[in-house]
Amino acid sequence: MPATVIVGAQWGDEGKGKIVDLLAQDSDLVCRYQGGPNAGHTVIVDGETFKFRHLPSGILSGKISVLGAGCVVDPEVLLEELDGLEERGISSEPLRISGNAHLIMPWHIAIDGASEKRLGKLQIGTTRRGIGPAYADKAARIGIRVQDLLDPKILRQKIETALAEKNVWLERVYEHEPFELEEVAARHEEFARRLRPYVADTSLLVDRALAQGERVLLEGAQGTLLDLDHGTYPFVTSSNPTAGAAATGIGIGPTRIDAVIGVSKAYVTRVGAGPFPSEMEPALAGRVRELGQEYGTVTGRERRPGWLDLVALRYAVRLNGITSLALTKLDVLSAFHELEVCVRYRLPDGTETRDFPAHQSDFHHAEPVFERVDGWTEPLDECATLDDLPAAARAYVGLVERELGVPVELVGTGAAREQVLARS
Ligand code: IMP
């Protein structure tokens, strides 16, 4: 498939990095279309673990790796990641950054943290990486863009203009120390010097690659239910992880996209606050957290585990136009004689629905209706294809396919790159 979107079908952390890394082997370009260092991708290759926040996982395979216009870039984090790769002998040369992407500036990080603190019990539970404030400035048309790094005079001018306003907010509203112009300008001039070689017209690059029949992976960060427009607002991120945004975020037309692979865990996890109908009770949640090592890649926070939620997954299939599913971490469930799957929600008026509620208060009060299915306890390490899975695991995959009307083409059975079973 020339242009394939890989999208998180849940609340993020579905194991997209691993699927992207695998498919990147057969791709020419790997592009991120939204988000910033709030993402956390873990990829294990030959026993070596790589954790990425910014970089598309394709960089490990030496593929042209794009940060598209829809991304927000923290230059400090990005450079740290690039240095880390170079230290391990992996070249950063294939990286291309869109000049239209916006920069996360130090005040965005300060405001993210301070505003969460102010919200107290009502906080969103952000990653505190400055994501929301950076996208807010972009929408307000006062952001600083990657292309501003190309001209030291413009860069300094923009920092000066921004600081004149941000420092007032920081001091008066958030009781935060102001930033010092000279210091920020000098640091950013150094970042600019190092990042300039990577700035490119990535929209043109991807268009040309597609015109030449090259294979392009468009990698979403976070997940469908964290989408700013269609997720569980306000407990969402500030960009659009859903597949439609891949076109805008990269700068290609939607008709160029051929396939959308939705990545879902065989169960669900969520970090941060917000309603979560299929959440497991604490003892079970603790067990799954340990079995699946469910701790945030970026923040180290405990993730909240829940049973697979087919209502939410059906919504993800609809919103993204998912053409096939990758079901990750099936091995984590190899410890239960019985599993539960959320097949419907019971709404406050007593009705039951298979469709995701359109209104927040229905979702907040939705009770999960579970179906019990047989579990399995055999390890999955020896399976070579989907047909080798234990009968109960095959039935579990079959249930997902039947309920959603979408084929499960890939199943994850362990952390390493090769531990993915394909349908064919
Ligand atoms: P922000 O993206 O840092 O603004 O955080 C907003 C919400 O998205 C919070 O609930 C975060 O926990 C969640 N979030 C952001 N990035 C990720 C991710 O990569 N995986 C899972 N949750 C995320």
Determine whether the shortest distance from the Cβ of 166 to ligand 1 is under 6 A.
Answer: no
Q: Which atom of ligand 1 is nearest to the CA of 132?
A: 4
Q: CA 90, CA 83: separation in Å to the nearest integer?
A: 9
Q: Which atom of ligand 1 is nearest to the CA of 35?
A: 2
DSSP-assigned beta bridge partners for residue 66: 31, 96
- Percentage with pLDDT > 90 across the chain: 89
Which are the catalytic amino acids?
A: 13, 41
Whose CA is closest to atom 2 on ligand 1? 237
Determine whether the shortest distance from the Cβ of 343 to ligand 1 is under 6 A.
Answer: no
Token pair 């039951």 is found at 352
Residue 382 has pLDDT above 70, yes or no: yes
Residue 297 has pLDDT above 80, yes or no: no
Q: What's the confidence (pLDDT) of residue 52?
A: 87
- Percentage with pLDDT > 70 across the chain: 100
Q: How confident is the model at residue 164 (pLDDT cuts 50, 70, 90)?
A: very high
Identify the burial level of 282 via C-beta atoms within 10 angstroms of its C-beta, where 0-12 means exposed, 13-18 middle and 19 or more buried. Answer: exposed
Contact yes or no for 146/103 (Cβ under 8 A): yes
Distance 271 CA to ligand 1 centre (A): 7
Choice between 344 and 297, residue whose per-residue pLDDT is larger: 344
20, 126, 236: residue to mutate for ligand 1 pocket, most atoms within 8 A of CB: 126
Q: CA 389, CA 397: separation in Å to the nearest integer?
A: 10
Contact yes or no for 400/325 (Cβ under 8 A): yes
Q: How confident is the model at residue 1 (pLDDT cuts 50, 70, 90)?
A: low
Q: CA 55, CA 207: separation in Å to the nearest integer?
A: 20
Residue 409 has pLDDT above 70, yes or no: yes
* Residue-wise pLDDT tens digits, 80-113: 999 999 999 999 999 999 999 999 999 999 999 9
Q: How many Cα atoms are found within 13 Å in the side-chain-facing hemisphere of 196?
A: 12
Token pair 């399976």 is found at 383
Determine whether the shortest distance from the Cβ of 226 to ligand 1 is under 6 A.
Answer: yes
Determine whether the shortest distance from the Cβ of 404 to ligand 1 is under 6 A.
Answer: no
Whose CA is closest to atom 17 on ligand 1? 222
Q: Which residues contact 101 (CB under 8 A, 6 or more apart)?
A: 67, 68, 69, 70, 71, 72, 73, 145, 146
Contact yes or no for 270/11 (Cβ under 8 A): yes
Distance 166 CA to ligand 1 centre (A): 24
Q: CA 11, CA 302: separation in Å to the nearest integer?
A: 14
Residue 359 has pLDDT above 70, yes or no: yes
When mean pLDDT is compared across 55-64, 187-196, 213-222, the lowest value belongs to 55-64
How much is the average pLDDT of 344-350?
96
Q: What's the confidence (pLDDT) of residue 157?
A: 97
Q: Which two tokens stand for residue 375?
A: 């579990």
Q: Which atom of ligand 1 is nearest to the CA of 221?
A: 19
Determine whether the shortest distance from the Cβ of 222 to ligand 1 is under 6 A.
Answer: yes
Tell if the pTM clears 0.85, that is, is over it.
yes
Write the secondary structure of the chain as one string of H (helix), E (strand) and C (coil). Answer: CCEEEEEECCCCCCCHHHHHHHHHCCCCEEEECCECCCCCEEEEECCEEEEECCCCHHHHHCCEEEECCCEEECHHHHHHHHHHHHHCCCCCCCEEEECCCEECCHHHHHHHHHHHHHHHHHCCCCCCCCHHHHHHHHHCCCCCEHHHHHCHHHHHHHHHHHHHHHHHHHHHHCCCCCCCHHHHHHHHHHHHHHHHHHEECHHHHHHHHHHCCCCEEEECCCCHHHCCCCCCCCCCCCCCCCCHHHHHHHCCCHHHCCEEEEEEECCEEECCCCCCCCECCHHHHHHHHHHCCCECCCCCCECEEECEEHHHHHHHHHHHCCCEEEEECHHHHCCEEEEEEEEEEECCCCCEECCCCCCHHHHHCCEEEEEEEEEECCCCCCCCCHHHCCHHHHHHHHHHHHHHCCCEEEEECCCECCCEEECC
Over the chain, what is the mean pLDDT?
95
Determine whether the shortest distance from the Cβ of 124 to ligand 1 is under 6 A.
Answer: yes
Determine whether the shortest distance from the Cβ of 8 to ligand 1 is under 6 A.
Answer: no
Q: CA 328, CA 421: separation in Å to the nearest integer?
A: 10
